[in-house]
Amino acid sequence: MQAKAIAKYIRMTPRKVRLVVDVIRGKDVKDAEDLLRFIPRMASTPIDKVLKSAKANAVNNHDMIEDRLFVAQAFVDAGPTLKRLMPRARGTANIVKKRTSHITIILEERHG
């Protein structure tokens, strides 16, 4: 059985979020929470929220045991990109791409 949580439209680039998500993939939930608390990156805050949401879904909705949970899958997809204009010299403009991310975390129970 799997428990899942998704955070959509997070205003952070997927590339930066993936650096943190790659660290917690396959870890126990308790270890992942400890790691996220001390990783010095802005992306660790929304990932921690998604992890806690997935844990709550597992315990409350699927009757899983909290001590046996581990991060089975964790991935980041690109959301829509907000395009903004930055004025430049001689009346021209550059496009500034403000990227968004969709964070998905799937938890499972270890047996044994």
Residue 6 has pLDDT above 90, yes or no: yes
Q: What pLDDT, on a 0 to 100 scale, did the predictor assign at position 102?
A: 98
Q: What pLDDT, on a 0 to 100 scale, did the predictor assign at position 8?
A: 98
73 closest CA partner among 60, 54, 57: 54
pTM of the model: 0.94
- Where helices occur in 39-82 by DSSP H, the ranges are 44-61
Confidence of residue 30 (pLDDT cuts 50, 70, 90): very high
Pair of tokens at residue 94: 């550059």
| Tens-place pLDDT, residues 41-79 | 999 999 999 999 999 999 999 999 999 999 999 999 999
